[in-house]
């Protein structure tokens, strides 16, 4: 064949691209040069579906004829033929040339399956070989800043060592050479700029001379990413994972409705099959619909005991137009015509039979239509005896867990069986919401933790296991991509299973063990036993066995090292002997085989990990930067390539994974995850491998920080802040519904940037962020407990799992995650922050000295109705702030952080009960160990001093009585009006809240605003309940009240529910409308009848709160006659403010009458008075100098509440603000419109970051408190709102 001509003077290209037929692409990479005898020519053929053959030869200078080596397979006219070999998504071939006389390679391509040739413009393809290895002469000049930046990265990759000028010059030269190499491979200068310069990393000259910390953390310690880009919120509604197709829309409009059980959609070429399951008149129907034309037949059967079963359906359930054939039913589809289109349907009425599935194929236009070459299978949910479908029961997907338990006997035969069953069940439950995937996860985790049998009396080839794993993990990756809400659960499942792979991956397990035995003369003994085990049923245990053998060989054949490795990973002699093909011998090798064994076992370990260890870091990196990913197209994911920056980060991780200094490694692990994230969220040729890589990187972050904990300097804040930043980023990238973590991370970045050594405000603010983070972690842990533990409990019991394993399932899961690592960092850093902030170990909310016997509870609410017969110190893990303190309790100590002005805090101070939050976990842990023993609590400045005392010392003298003085409720008479204006407010008509609003109006200075108000007076509720329209409800309430008096507290809820059924008389509606409009307040009915209905429901909720359990018990404890309690309703327009506040004009903690104490939150005040988790911002101010407020606590509230313009209905009973009885906060105030819960970052709030604004606003709030106190002449408890800098006071009462 003739050669194509090239000019000898032209530059020899190093990378050639050819666009071939059928979308195929050929890329040729040339490295080395003929003079150095090191030429390598790499052929990469993409977008092809079959093997091609390279028909080739080489030519010498000055001679156009082809030459071939003296050995090799010949073809006519003297040519070599070499097939390209499949590697991942490409076909590749490498040719190495040593002859310096070779000038070029020429070739054509031959289709391996037929006699078809591909040529270049009817001639040969021509690849010229470079004579000299100095391509830099042809390269564009590289800017100095790019070389310096690359040199910085090289220095960083070495662990940031102290560098001499000579070492810095060497890094510069290495950087230049590496950049030139990339230019040679076809990467443009602009691409290099994008890769290396898109982040503002310090240059080598700025940063390299600075010393590094012992952990290897960088000297700047600062990281900042746009974490909002990582926000993943749960989408609303049920997650079906289905795109809404035309056919699905047609079917839903024609045949949907409220009784739909499930949808499934199957695109088949230009057609679609949609299957709908639903109830019709109590019967279970399956409707198979298609958008095909002409005569179409459903060929179908049913499955009773297993999905692989095909049985003919009973004759009494055949649809119309059906006939029975051998072993099946054939039913003609019926046309359905609609205004927007037409489709065909077969309606199968299962009646109330319990089939587990239906199988079918479709005959249309002379062709059988199948699903990926197999039958369509529709899994059916089991029906219970009542004829209803079993669904979610007590937080589980019961039908799924029952079927898993039923099929475990089959699954335990081999991993092939288990993963095939898992694939089928996951397909059936993937649209059931997260409970379906949680069920699969629990099953897989029981398996991964060896609580289930891996193999039992079944011989299966490794490639069959690998294929089954591959199908399962491919399905999981598709769910991850298409069902964003389920990504977190999918990640948990994939951690439990290996990657799997196509047949060649599993087959290599069988082939390579034979090679190891042959190469190293170890055909008998333990190696032969292992060989038989591998052939029979390979498992993740083989990875451990291989690692044990490697350690045994490396240490000089010490058998104790072999057993230590096995035992450390849960493999004992008994376990090895229990395999179907037992391993009972110990390894024994020839001494001279050491190097060969190390080489062969190392390579074999990679093969085993490739199949069984999906989340193994080394294996995951190797898979993703191996030959399948090696492409010079760095601009996108479609070709299967990885961005250069990601490749560099991964190579660094691979080289430094065991470094003692963990800082640079941690940074690169996170940088890798950040670069990887966009690839995970879009379709990618190697999406599954990338997902396993991300799992491995996330796990490596956790393992690395755990390994480095001992070396971290917790007394040096910048270092710890840096590592907390990394762990936070790791959590952001791993979690769905991560809004709370995202905003905490934004706040954390801000506090890192504002760090000042020994700065008290900085320490307070940083501690608030960490307190909020602890709340977030606690909520996430509880969320996992609520969602996952019920499935673990139910399935574990069915499978006979050990009780202790079941009970700790979710707890162990959380302990193994990144949340636990973050919590450890926070707990160890907390003492440093408290020391800087001068906080001590305690926040004393109610300072009282007491003695009592220790009693530990998880929640204070669980014992609030209990009566303790001796003085008791309760140590409670959780205190919400809404609880009553039980009789007999003299102190409540907690690790929780209720607001200082919460209900329980006020109760403690009023009743002289010691109440304090403990910040030191060790102190609290030691106190819990004193369960049942007596302790003494004494005050020392702002801390508590606790010591042991004898139980005999708990005399009546040590018991501070909490029996209140006699308080009476004076019953008020109904004034005959259903609504009163503010001018008509009197103590006989309304409560103290309303009267105080009237008192303040007109007395406060003009810069303090009082909202417009009206009220529903005392007795209105009783009068309306007594009317004929509510007669039945009145009788029900009366009978329920008698039961409550008899001690049946459960009927309190029933009373509240009955009250919510009351009907409003027309007279109430008319009077209330008149009074609200007269006060220039918006009347809800003007916006429609539904708005008035919403307002009426809110009014009834306020009335019903008279019977909430906490209020009822409080009245009984205070010996108040509950029947004399009357409830007025204060109605105010909502001030949609920026902040809400509560002021106590006498410091409630210290009792200092010269000092104001206040708390402030973002949004509505309900998060402050309503026991929402987290602390409010608090401050104090001296009354003689309110312009200098002092912040004592920064906010850690997780959310703010915000409302549209609306009204609020406030409880205003005659049982509040009584002397000697604190009834405030017992009854409900209700917004007409439900408030929106907003998660936010405090780092964007002026009150936190702008010190001048903060001082100005807090001073104004303190001044308002001082003014109102002066009007009353006594300390006041004041609630208010700040809107656009204006102060609004919404209520005031005497401070108790």
Question: What would the two tokens of residue 913 be?
Answer: 């009960």
- Which residues have C-beta within 8 Å of that of residue 912, sequence separation ≥ 6? 846, 848, 960, 962
Per DSSP, 1193 falls in state E
Question: What would the two tokens of residue 619 be?
Answer: 């294996």
| 3-state SS class at 862 | helix
CA 671, CA 647: separation in Å to the nearest integer? 11
| 3-state SS class at 266 | strand
Please give the sequence-ordered ranges of beta strands (E in DSSP) within 1112-1271, or none if there are none.
Answer: 1127-1133, 1139-1144, 1155-1162, 1177-1182, 1190-1193, 1199-1202, 1207-1213, 1230-1231, 1236-1239
Question: What would the two tokens of residue 136 be?
Answer: 């830099």
- Which residues have C-beta within 8 Å of that of residue 1271, sequence separation ≥ 6? 999, 1000, 1003, 1004
Catalytic residues: 903
Under a CB-based contact definition with an 8 Å cutoff, are residues 881 and 902 in contact? Answer: yes
Q: What is the DSSP string of 1092-1154?
A: HHHHHHHHHHHHHGGG-HHHHHHHHHTT--GGG--EEEEEEE----SEEEEEESS-TTT--TT
Q: Tell me whether strands 980-981 and 1013-1016 are parallel, antiparallel or unpaired.
A: antiparallel
CA 1277, CA 679: separation in Å to the nearest integer? 56
Owner of token pair 């391996």: 112
Q: Tell me whether strands 1013-1016 and 1008-1009 are parallel, antiparallel or unpaired.
A: unpaired
CA 1122, CA 732: separation in Å to the nearest integer? 51
- Burial string for 170-194 (b: 16+ CB within 10 Å, else e) reads ebbeebbebbeebbbebbebebbee
Per DSSP, 869 falls in state E
* 33: β partners: none
CA 663, CA 722: separation in Å to the nearest integer? 9
Long-range contacts of 31-34 (CB under 8 A, 24+ apart): 32/130, 32/133, 33/129, 33/130, 33/131, 33/132, 33/133, 34/97, 34/99, 34/100, 34/101, 34/102, 34/103, 34/129, 34/130, 34/131
Under a CB-based contact definition with an 8 Å cutoff, are residues 1097 and 1060 in contact? Answer: yes
Q: What is the DSSP string of 443-455?
A: HHHHHHTT-S-S-
* Number of helices (H), then strands (E), in the chain: 38, 43
CB atoms within 10 A of CB 874: 26
Span between the terminal Cα atoms of the chain, in Å: 105
CA 273, CA 765: separation in Å to the nearest integer? 58
Q: How many residues does the chain have?
A: 1296
Under a CB-based contact definition with an 8 Å cutoff, are residues 105 and 58 in contact? Answer: yes
CA dihedral 929, 930, 931, 935 (to 10 degrees): -150
Identify the burial level of 1227 via C-beta atoms within 10 angstroms of its C-beta, where 0-12 means exposed, 13-18 middle and 19 or more buried. buried
Cα dihedral across residues 1163, 1169, 1174, 1178: positive or negative = positive
CA-wise closest residue to 864 among 849, 881, 848: 881
CA dihedral 689, 690, 691, 695 (to 10 degrees): 100
């Amino acid at each position: 064949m003739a050669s194509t001509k090239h000019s000898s003077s032209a530059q020899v290209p190093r990378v050639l691209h050819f666009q071939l037929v059928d979308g195929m692409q050929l890329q040729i990479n040339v490295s080395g040069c003929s003079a150095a005898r090191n030429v390598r020519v790499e052929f990469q053929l993409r977008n092809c579906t079959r093997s091609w053959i390279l028909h080739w030869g080489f030519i010498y200078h000055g001679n156009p004829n082809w030459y071939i080596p003296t050995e090799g397979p010949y073809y006519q006219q003297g040519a070599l033929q070499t097939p390209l070999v499949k590697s991942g998504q490409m076909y590749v071939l490498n040719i190495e040339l040593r002859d310096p006389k070779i000038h070029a390679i020429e070739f054509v391509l031959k289709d391996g399956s037929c006699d078809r040739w591909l040529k270049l413009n009817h001639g040969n393809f021509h690849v010229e070989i470079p004579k000299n290895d100095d391509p830099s002469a042809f390269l564009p000049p590289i800017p100095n800043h790019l070389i310096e930046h690359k040199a910085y990265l090289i220095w960083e990759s070495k662990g940031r060592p102290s560098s001499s000028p000579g070492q810095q010059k060497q890094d510069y030269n290495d950087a230049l050479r590496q950049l030139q190499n990339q230019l040679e491979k076809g990467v443009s200068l602009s691409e290099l700029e994008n890769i290396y310069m898109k982040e503002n990393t310090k240059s080598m000259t700025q940063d390299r001379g600075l010393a590094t910390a012992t952990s290897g953390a960088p000297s700047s310690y600062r990281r900042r990413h746009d974490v909002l880009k990582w926000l993943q919120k749960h989408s609303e509604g049920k997650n079906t994972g289905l795109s809404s197709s035309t056919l699905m829309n047609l079917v839903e409009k024609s045949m949907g409705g409220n009784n739909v059980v499930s949808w499934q959609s199957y695109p088949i070429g230009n057609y679609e099959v949609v299957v709908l399951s639903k109830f019709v008149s109590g019967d279970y129907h399956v409707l198979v619909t298609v958008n095909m034309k002409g005569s179409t037949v459903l060929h179908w059967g049913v499955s009773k005991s297993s999905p692989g079963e095909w049985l003919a359906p009973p004759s009494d359930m055949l649809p119309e137009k059906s006939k029975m054939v051998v072993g099946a039913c054939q039913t003609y589809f019926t046309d359905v015509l609609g205004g927007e289109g037409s489709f065909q349907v077969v309606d199968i009425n299962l009646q109330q039979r319990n089939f587990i599935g239906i199988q079918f194929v479709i005959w249309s236009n002379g062709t059988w239509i199948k699903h990926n070459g197999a039958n369509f299978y529709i899994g059916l949910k089991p029906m219970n005896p009542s004829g209803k479908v079993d669904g979610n029961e007590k937080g589980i997907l019961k039908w799924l867990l029952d079927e898993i338990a039923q099929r475990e006997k089959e699954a335990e035969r081999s991993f092939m069986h288990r993963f095939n069953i898992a694939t089928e069940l996951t397909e059936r439950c993937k649209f059931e919401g997260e409970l379906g995937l949680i069920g699969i996860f629990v099953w897989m985790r029981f398996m991964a933790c060896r609580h289930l049998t891996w193999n039992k009396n079944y011989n299966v080839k490794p490639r069959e296991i690998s294929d089954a794993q591959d199908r399962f993990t491919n399905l999981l990756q598709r769910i991850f991509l298409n069902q964003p809400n389920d990504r977190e659960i999918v990640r948990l499942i994939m951690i439990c299973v290996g990657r799997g792979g196509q047949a060649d991956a599993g087959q290599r397990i069988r082939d390579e063990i034979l090679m190891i035995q042959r190469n190293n003369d170890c055909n008998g003994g333990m190696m032969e036993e292992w060989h038989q085990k591998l052939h029979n049923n390979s498992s993740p245990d083989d990875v451990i066995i291989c690692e044990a053998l490697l350690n045994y060989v490396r240490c000089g054949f010490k058998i104790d090292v072999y057993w230590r490795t096995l035992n450390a990973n849960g493999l004992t002699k008994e376990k090895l002997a229990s395999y179907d093909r037992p391993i009972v011998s110990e390894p024994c090798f020839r001494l001279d085989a050491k190097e060969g064994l190390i080489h062969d076992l190392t390579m074999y370990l990679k093969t085993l990990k490739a199949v069984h260890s999906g989340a193994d870091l080394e294996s995951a990196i190797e898979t993703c930067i191996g030959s399948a990913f090696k492409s010079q197209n760095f601009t996108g994911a479609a070709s299967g390539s990885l961005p250069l920056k990601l490749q560099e980060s991964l190579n660094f991780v691979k080289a430094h994974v065991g470094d003692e200094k963990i800082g640079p490694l941690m940074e690169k692990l996170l940088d890798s995850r950040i670069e990887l994230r966009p690839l995970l969220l879009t379709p990618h040729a190697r999406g599954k491998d990338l997902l396993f890589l991300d799992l491995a990187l996330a796990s490596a972050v956790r393992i690395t920080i755990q390994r480095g904990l001992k070396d971290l300097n917790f007394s040096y804040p910048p270092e710890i802040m840096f590592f907390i930043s990394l762990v936070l980023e790791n959590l952001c990238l791993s979690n769905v519904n991560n809004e709370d973590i995202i905003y905490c991370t934004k706040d954390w970045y801000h506090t890192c940037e504002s760090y000042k050594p020994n700065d008290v405000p900085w320490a307070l603010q940083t501690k608030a962020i960490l307190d909020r983070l602890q709340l977030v972690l606690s909520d996430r842990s509880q969320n996992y407990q609520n969602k996952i533990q019920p499935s673990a409990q139910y399935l574990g019991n069915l499978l006979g799992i050990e009780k202790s394993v079941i009970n700790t399932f979710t707890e162990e899961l959380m302990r193994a995650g990144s949340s636990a690592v973050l919590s450890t960092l926070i707990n160890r850093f907390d003492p440093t922050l408290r020391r800087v902030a001068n906080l001590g170990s305690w926040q004393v909310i109610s300072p009282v000295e007491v003695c009592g016997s220790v009693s530990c509870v998880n929640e204070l609410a669980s014992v609030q109705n209990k009566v303790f017969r001796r003085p008791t110190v309760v140590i409670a893990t959780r205190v919400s702030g809404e609880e009553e303190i039980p009789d007999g309790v003299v102190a409540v100590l907690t690790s929780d952080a209720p607001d200082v002005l919460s209900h329980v805090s006020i109760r403690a101070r009023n009743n002289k009960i010691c109440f304090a939050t403990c910040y030191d976990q060790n102190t609290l842990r030691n106190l819990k160990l004193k369960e049942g023993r007596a302790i003494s609590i004494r005050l020392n400045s702002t801390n508590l001093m606790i010591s042991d005392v004898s139980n005999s010392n708990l005399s009546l003298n040590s018991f501070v009585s909490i029996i209140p003085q006699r308080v009476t409720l004076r019953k008020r008479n109904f004034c005959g009006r259903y609504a009163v204006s503010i001018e008509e407010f009197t103590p006989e008509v309304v409560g103290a809240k309303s009267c105080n609003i009237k008192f303040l109006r007109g007395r406060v200075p003009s810069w303090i605003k009082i909202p417009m108000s009206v009220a529903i007076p005392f007795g209105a509720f009783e009068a309306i309940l007594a009317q004929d329209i509510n007669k039945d409800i009145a009788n029900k309430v009366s009978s329920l009240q008698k039961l409550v008096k008899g001690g049946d507290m459960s009927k309190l809820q029933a009373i509240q529910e009955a009250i919510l059924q009351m009907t409003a008389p027309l007279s109430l509606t008319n009077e209330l409308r008149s009074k609200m409009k007269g006060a220039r307040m918006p009347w809800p009915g003007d916006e429609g009848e539904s708005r008035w209905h919403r307002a009426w429901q809110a009014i009834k909720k306020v009335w019903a709160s008279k019977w909430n359990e906490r209020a009822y018990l409080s009245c009984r404890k205070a010996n108040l006659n509950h029947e004399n309690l009357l409830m007025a309703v204060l109605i105010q327009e909502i001030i949609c403010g920026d902040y809400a506040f509560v002021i106590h004009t006498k410091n409630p903690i210290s009792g200092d009458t010269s000092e104001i104490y206040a708390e402030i939150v973002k949004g509505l005040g309900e998060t402050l008075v309503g026991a929402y988790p987290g602390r409010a911002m608090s401050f104090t101010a001296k009354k003689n100098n309110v312009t200098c407020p002092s912040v004592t606590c920064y906010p850690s509230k997780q959310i703010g509440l915000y409302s549209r313009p609306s009204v609020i209905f406030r409880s205003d009973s005659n049982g509040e603000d009584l002397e000697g009885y604190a009834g405030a906060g017992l009854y409900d105030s209700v917004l007409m419109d439900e408030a929106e819960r907003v998660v936010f970052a405090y780092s964007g709030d002026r009150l936190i970051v702008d010190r001048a604004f903060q001082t100005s606003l807090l001073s104004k709030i303190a001044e308002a408190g001082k003014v109102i106190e002066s009007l009353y002449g006594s300390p006041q408890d004041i609630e208010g709102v700040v809107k656009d800098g204006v102060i609004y006071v919404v209520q005031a009462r005497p401070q108790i």
